[in-house]
Chain A
Amino acid sequence: MTRAFAIEIDQLEFGWKPRQTLLRVERFELAAGERLFLVGPSGSGKSSLLSVIAGIAPASAGDICILDQDMGALSPARRDAFRADNLGVIFQLFNLVPYLTPLENVLLPCRFSPQRRKLAMANGSLGDEGRRLLMALGLDGDVVSRPSTELSVGQQQRVAAARALIGSPGLIIADEPTSALDADSRDNFIQLLQKECEAANSALLFVSHDQALGAFFDRRVDLSEINTAGRVSA
């Protein structure tokens, strides 16, 4: 499991429609196990970049390797399977499937990825590992079995983080996960997330428009600087 890069982008171009280029990135790297803060104001091509990294959408041109796997070489179905095995995603809001309990939400990736299921069960049962992660993220026993819809936003985000972390995927993508949290729980959340990523040896791509959060990270990159699409080319 010694990989050079969690994300390696080379001459990437992307657009949802043909002949539309929303994203043009010459070079972008995220080292394995590294935690990076990506500043992405709205309109900077953030959604496009995350979709391409997650393998939801294929690149129009250029190369993108996730955990040393060339995504362009995979069929859509293989990309889905790859995502299930290697990616954890935390959204800005509404992270939970409403009809599943918090614990079931955490264990959801294990339904789709035998690999993560196996890794999660390395130290005991799936339920134990799910509860351990929730506990580590500050959610104790009582919350775990309550209906997901009754959780506060802060609690929901922690459940989402636990879900992204279960089975130790190589890359965690967090898309504005703290924008709905107050300052205290925001700081707490970021610290816990970093700590667990380190423990799981997962790389973290933390995206936010809030420059202030950059202070928590070793390295920060501004998407509007590396995305040259839409600029008047010389």
Chain B
Amino acid sequence: MNGAIFNLALKSLGNRLFTVGLTVLAIAMSVTLFLAVDKIRTGARTSFSTTISGTDLIVGARSGSINLLLYSVFRIGDPTGAMSWESYERIAGAPGVEWAVPISLGDSHRGYRVVGTNNDYFERYRYGRDLPLAFRAGEAFGANEEGVVIGAQVASDLGYEIGTEISLSHGIGEVSFADHDEHPMLVTGILRPTGTPVDRSVHVTLEAIERIHDDVVEEDGHDEEHAYEPEQITAVFIGMEQPTLVLRLQRQVNTYPDEALSAIIPGVALMQLWEVVGAGEAAFGAISAFVILVGLISIATSLSASLNERRREMAILRAVGARPGHVFVLLVSEATAIAAAGAIAGIVLINLLFVLIAGGVQSRYGLTLASGGLSLTDMLTGVVVITSGAMMGILPARRALKNALADGLTVKL
């Protein structure tokens, strides 16, 4: 019997396709918005938390830990300052330090951030679940001061290959007037895609960075036995022999008397970042949830608005044997069907949309949007929207019930 009623509900909705379609659209849009906020949030969290692993401490000039994390790992924003090479050497030689990779930031190549570092970077940097960087072609700088290793995105966007000659510019920006063509650099290696900011980075030697900032190239540097020593760098990635030593070194760095430095534990800084971002996320989530609520209310609105012109229909149904309960079920079924159509349309829409834009977002912002079918959130949202939609039907259904009981067989039109 209720199957028959549901069948009636669908036909009734089909008869009012325009208004019903608008309500379905409103719900679909609200569900799309809600899921978009959620998916971007989840995508951002996943991308951020898989960007760096295996690094126990990051040291840089004194600044807030979130700031240091953002510019050193995520290449977002500008370094607040530099740290001296002496400090780097002191920290690298501290007890318990297994490795220390210096990086030097602040320059760009055709809009891509330039990272000055040494060969160790490609050995030590880990992302995701302890994955090392891998070369798609070529290799690290080796002894080549003019060597350049580019991320996968840089290679595909700019069409660079092994052996391509490039020049570096000072500062960060798409266009620079200070290109140094007299010392062309040579692409020696191309990394495999990682889904991290490494894909959009141009890695050069520390010497090359020094040369951009200082036109005088120290010729004698080549003859010395040990590695080149720049005057200053931006930050150091540190790996410890034992995890238990991390906190002690962090304290030592933070209280280092000769220079104002900050040491951060990436995971801890990330947590702080989430705390800051969390308030904004919650606000967005609340707003988009309210938008869904507005969409759901429009179900009750449109069904209630239709009730007066449907009094005759209800009287006919009563006359052919429909119980008041059937009238109630009819309206709740209609509300449920509208909500279900809206929820399903919204879920399909957001997933199609994300499949379409995922590639662009990945290459432009380095943000991996969760794709690959329905997420648990999609399904939960669908269930909640459909259930709430059914409840929204109770309001007009109660009115229809009241009308049906009052009108009996004789509604005057």
Binding site for B on A (CB under 8 A): 47, 50-51, 54, 56-57, 76-77, 80-81, 83-85, 87, 89, 91, 93-100, 104, 108-109, 111-113, 163, 175
Contact partners of B14 in chain A: CB under 8 A: 99
Chain B residues, Cβ within 8 Å of A111: 1, 4, 8, 320
Stretch at the interface among B39-47, B51-59, B117-125, B310-318: B310-318
Cβ-defined contact, B409 with A50, below 8 A = yes
Q: Would B409 and A112 count as touching, CB distance under 8 A?
A: no
Give Cα distance in the complex from A98 to B70, angstroms: 63
Taking a contact as CB atoms under 8 Å apart, the answer to whether A81 and B321 are in contact is yes
Interface size on B, residues (CB 8 A): 25
Point out the residue from B12, B322, B324 that lies within 8 Å of A112, measured CB to CB.
B322
B244 within 8 A of A: no
**A56, B319: Cα distance in complex, Å:** 9
A112–B3 Cα distance when bound, in Å, is 11
In the complex, what's the smallest C-beta–C-beta distance from B315 to chain A, in angstroms? 8
Closest A residue, CB atoms, query B309: A98
B 301-315 contacts with A by CB, 8 A? 312-313, 315
Task: Flag B314-341 by CB within 8 Å of A: 1 or 0 each.
Answer: 0111111111111000000000000000
Residue pair B410, A163 in contact (C-beta under 8 Å): no
When C-beta atoms are compared, the residue in chain B nearest to A83 turns out to be: B321
**What are 14 contact pairs spanning A and B, CB under 8 A?**
A50-B409, A50-B410, A51-B408, A51-B409, A51-B410, A54-B319, A89-B319, A91-B315, A95-B316, A99-B15, A108-B316, A109-B320, A111-B1, A113-B321
- Say yes or no for B283: interface residue by CB 8 A criterion: no
Distance, CA A57 to CA B319, complexed state (A): 12
* Pairwise interchain contact B313-A97, C-beta atoms closer than 8 A: yes
A108 in contact with B408 (CB, 8 Å): no
In the bound complex, residues from chain B placing their C-beta under 8 Å from that of A83 are 319, 321
- Across the interface, A80 reaches (CB within 8 A) one of B11, B316, B321, namely B321
Q: Does residue B158 face the partner (Cβ distance < 8 Å to A)?
A: no
Q: Is the CB of B408 within 8 A of A163?
A: no
Chain B residues positioned under 8 Å from A51 (CB to CB) = 408-410
B413 at the binding interface (Cβ < 8 Å): yes
- Complex CA distance for A99 and B322, rounded to whole angstroms: 17
Q: Beyond A51-B408, A99-B15, A111-B1, list 13 extra A-B contacts (CB 8 Å).
A: A47-B409, A54-B408, A56-B409, A83-B321, A84-B322, A89-B320, A89-B409, A91-B316, A97-B317, A100-B8, A111-B320, A112-B321, A175-B410
Return chain A residues, CB-CB under 8 Å to B321.
Answer: 80-81, 83-85, 87, 109, 112-113
* B410:A112 contact, CB within 8 angstroms: no
Contact for B11 among A47, A85, A99, CB less than 8 A: A99
Contact status A99-B323, CB under 8 Å: no
Contact A100 B11 (CB under 8 A): yes
Q: B320 to A94, Cβ gap below 8 A?
A: no
Q: Which residue of B lies closest to A166 (CB)?
A: B320
Closest to B404 in A: A56
Interface of B is mostly: helix
Nearest chain-A residue to B3 (Cβ)? A111
Q: Which residues of B contact A87 (CB under 8 A)?
A: 319, 321
Q: For B326, list chain A residues within 8 Å (CB).
A: 112
- Whether B410 lies near A84 (C-beta < 8 A) is no
Encoded as 1 (CB less than 8 Å from any A CB) or 0, chain B from 247 to 278 comes to: 00000000000000000000000000000000
CB distance from B318 to the nearest CB of A (A): 7
Determine the distance from Cα of A113 to Cα of B410 in the docked complex, in whole angstroms: 22
Whether B317 contacts A57 by the Cβ 8 Å rule is no
Q: How far is the CB of B218 from chain A (nearest CB, A)?
A: 87
B403, chain A: closest CB distance, angstroms: 13
Instruction: Give complex CA distance A160, B413 in Å.
Output: 18
CA distance A99 to B1 in the complex (A): 19
> Top 9 A-B pairs ranked by shortest CB distance?
A84-B321, A99-B15, A112-B321, A56-B408, A89-B319, A80-B323, A111-B4, A109-B320, A47-B410
CA distance A126 to B116 in the complex (A): 83
- Chain B residues in 8 Å Cβ range of A84: 320-322
Q: Is the CB of B320 within 8 A of A112?
A: yes
Q: Give every chain B residue within 8 A of A113 (Cβ-Cβ).
A: 321
Q: CB-nearest residue of chain B relative to A163? A: B320
A94 touches B413 (CB 8 A): yes
Measured CA separation A88–B101 after assembly (Å):
90
Give B315's nearest chain A residue, CB to CB. Answer: A91
* CA distance in complex: A212, B54 (Å): 100
Which residues of chain B have C-beta atoms less than 8 A from A104's C-beta? 11
Question: Which residues of B sit under 8 angstroms from A112, Cβ to Cβ?
Answer: 1, 4, 320-322, 326
- What chain A residues lie within 8 Å of B318 (beta carbons)? 56, 80
A84 to B326, CA, bound (A): 12
CB neighbours (8 Å) of B319 from chain A are 54, 83, 87, 89, 91
Minimum distance in angstroms from A5 CB to a CB of chain B: 21
Beta-carbon contact of B316 and A54 below 8 Å: no
Interface string of B83-112 (1 = CB under 8 A from A): 000000000000000000000000000000
